[in-house]
Structure 1
Amino acid sequence: MKPIVYIDMDDVICNYTEAHRRALSRNPENHYPQSQFDFFRKLKPIYGALEGIQVLDQNNYQIYILTAPSENNPLSYTEKRIWIEEYLGFDFVSKLIICSNKSLLKGDYLVDDHKSGKGQENFEGRILHYGSKQCKNWETVIKILLAENRLQ
């Protein structure tokens, strides 16, 4: 059976923080720019993320995109789905899971920029803490997962 890998969207696949900072600098009175129409749809991909997902998808992993919705923007569900189709293709739309509690899903790996807050701390598989010293970028994510897949 192929190992299951869940990959977070915001700040793992797409650059949420940079877009948030830019929006705040343009309009400092709006403390929740993520509540604005098109915020999530216009996020830019993180360097190496799209290619990394394709490498994992082609190397014996079941890949799912696991993202929490924005409580401040009910349109985030739709915008995230549109983003996935635009950047990863229609086939990945069925691999998008939007869930506020990431511990509800069963899998082998969770690639996330947070270790807690949305249930990550109770995820039963291994967490690859994206952006950390051990898992600083997509090159590292690929190396870790491909090495572990060879060991199984």
Structure 2
Amino acid sequence: MQKTIAVDMDGVLADVEAHALNLYYKQSGILLTKKDIEGRKEAEMLPDGLFYKLVREKGFFREVPVMPGAIEAIKKLSENFTIYIVSAAMEFPQSLPEKREWLAEYFPDISWRNIIFCGDKSVIKTDYMIDDHAKNLDFCQGKAIMFAAFHNQSQNQHLKFGNWDAVTAFFENE
């Protein structure tokens, strides 16, 4: 039986940071880079709580770009592991159908049986979990892998990788 990997969407497969920064630039004319927001919490990512306003807008989750290297990495990992996409899609109601459409476009080889939309990831029991939030990884019963993001720069309690090439290299040795 193949080992299993739970892979988060936002901030891991989907480049939410880039999307939010791009929308902010379009609305305000102010160009912020990923470096500018490094170390901030999500609520502080954009001025005036704008990040949480953006994620509530229709189309936000459907239009997020794919994280560089994610498509190729998931294809490669799928050769030796069973992949589950696990996303907390319940907080923002429109995110559920938009995330499903997004996955169908960018990851069409992932079966609907391997997509888990939930509110609490502590119920997920896989051999590995890749996520950008410690709150999800802290309960991981397998090996927790943190995907580096602007909001987790100071967190080092889990194995951390900054891109999909590094993640793929790690799994080549597993």
TM-score, scaled relative to structure 2: 0.75
Work out which of the residue numbers 146, 153, 159 in structure 2 matches 1:129.
Answer: 146
SS of the residue 1:67 aligns to? strand
Select 2:137's aligned residue among 83, 98, 120: 120
Query: Does the residue aligned with 2:24 lie in a helix, a strand or coil?
Result: helix
| Deviation per residue, 1:113-133 (Å, 9 max, x gap) | 1111xx431111111111178
- Which stretches in structure 1 are left out of the alignment for 5+ residues? none
**Displacement, 1:90?**
5.6
Query: Deviation string for 1:2-41 (max 9, x for gaps)?
Result: 1110001011111111212233341677721011111101
Match for 2:5: what amino acid?
Answer: V
CA distance in 2, matches of 1:110, 1:134: 12
* Partners of 1:3 and 1:69 in 2: CA distance: 25
- Residues of 1 paired with 2:66 and 2:110: CA distance? 18
Task: Indicate the SS of the match to 2:161.
Answer: coil
8 A Cα contact 2:90 2:118, kept in partner: no
Query: Are 1:103 and 2:122 matched, yes or no?
Result: yes
The one-letter code of the counterpart of 1:62 is T
AA of the residue aligned to 2:23: A
Cα distance in 2 for residues equivalent to 1:91 and 1:5: 13
Rounded Cα–Cα distance in structure 2 between residues aligned with 1:9 and 1:47: 13
- Taking only the aligned residue pairs, the percentage that are identical comes to 30
Q: Which ranges of structure 2 fall in alignment gaps of 5 or more residues? A: 29-46, 154-158
Quote the residue 2:75 is aligned against.
54
